[in-house]
Each structure stands twice: as structure tokens, then as C-alpha cells.
Amino acid sequence: MLENISIGIVAGLLTAFITIVLRALWVRILIPWFEELLYKDIKIEGVWIGLYIDNYHLIEQGTIEPGEEDWNKMLETVAEDGYSPSEIRVNLKRNGYRIRGDFLGISGSEKGTIAKLEGEFKNLILSGIYDTKDNQIIDKGSFSFISIKNGTMLKGYFSSYENNSHSIRPFYCLLKKE
């Protein structure tokens, strides 16, 4: 009788182990492989350089129109206003529809900020979440971008916690493929 119980326990543990391994293979290998086969969007992976702008500041001042796409016009207008946008660098990696990457603040208020990005890119829309890698900084939020100009630019918003007003604020961002 003790032998039958032992066999039952071993068989149950073995079945659970096989189920966990097969599920992991399905989720980590088969689904991404199938998504990669079906992927028809632009090649979003790579390095993107961009401007990260406090949208409220500029729209309240009437400095730029929401959704401005002209990179040079935006730089000139922002410079005339005396406001300095943050320059950022985003490195994206794609596996099927899933996107992972890093965000690095090069200049401005975001200088030195390093964050990890995770999201999805489908039908020219990139959306997801980000979180800083530094545990001392409480900066996390979401982002949403649309691909424009034949996949050479992304425009959209980061939504982030603003410490002074204790609110969630949008930050307009325009990214160019490097």
C-alpha cells in the first residue's frame, strides 16, 4: 500500500513538472515564433532619438500645436520660448508583437534617467509601460505612440506622475529613427 501511494505521488509530481515545462515552452517559444511569422508591421526595433517635452507648458503657452510633427520647427519654437526639452534615446527590441527596450535621458530634466520599456506594437501603434531602473526614483507610467512618415518617426505621449502637483501629466514625445 505504501508503494502505491509513493507511485501516485511521484506520478503526480512528474505530471505537474511536465505540464509546467510544456506551458513554458508554449508561452516562451511557440507563441513568439508564431507571432514572428505573422508580423507584418514596420521594423520598429533599433535606436530612436527624440525630444521629450512637458506638453502642458507648451500648449498652455500656445507654443506648439498638439501633435506637432515637424522636428526642426518644434526645436526652433521651443528654443524661442526659452524652454529646454529633454533629449532622449530609446533602444527597442522586438519579438513578434512584443517590445522591450531602454530609455535614456541625454539632456534636460530627464538627463541621466534610465528606464526599461515593455509593450506591444500592432497596427502602427506602440503602447506599453515604463519603469525606472533606479529604485530611488519613483518614475513610472505608460506610453502610447503612432508610427508616422513611413516608419521613420514615432509621435505620442508618455504619461507620468508629476511630483509638484501630485498628478498624472502627459509629456509629448517625438522620436526619429537613428
Residues 58-65 have a mean pLDDT of: 53
Q: What is the pLDDT of residue 49?
A: 93
92 and 124 share a domain?
Answer: yes
34 and 51 share a domain?
Answer: no
Higher pLDDT residue, 148 or 137?
Answer: 148
**pLDDT tens-digit readout, 73-115:** 666 655 555 566 788 999 999 888 889 999 998 887 778 888 9
Q: What is the pLDDT of residue 120?
A: 94
Number of domains in the chain: 2
Backbone angles phi, psi at 9, to 5 degrees: -65, -45
Report how far residue 37's alpha carbon sits from residue 20's, in angstroms, rounded to the nearest whole number: 25
134 and 165 share a domain?
Answer: yes
Q: What is the pLDDT of residue 140?
A: 83
Whole-model pTM: value is 0.70
165 and 77 share a domain?
Answer: yes
Distance, C-alpha 142 to centroid of its chain: 8
69 and 24 share a domain?
Answer: no
34 and 50 share a domain?
Answer: no
CB of 29 within 8 A of CB of 135? no
153 and 95 share a domain?
Answer: yes
Report how far residue 41's alpha carbon sits from residue 145's, in angstroms, rounded to the nearest whole number: 14
82 and 9 share a domain?
Answer: no
51 and 88 share a domain?
Answer: yes
Q: Domain with 159 in it: what CATH number?
A: 2.40.128
123 and 166 share a domain?
Answer: yes
Residue 63 pLDDT > 80, yes or no?
A: no
Q: Which domain holds residue 102?
A: 46-177
Higher pLDDT residue, 84 or 71?
Answer: 84
| Confidence band, pLDDT 50/70/90 cuts, at residue 57 | low
Q: What is the pLDDT of residue 14?
A: 92
30 and 106 share a domain?
Answer: no
33 and 93 share a domain?
Answer: no
| Confidence band, pLDDT 50/70/90 cuts, at residue 6 | confident
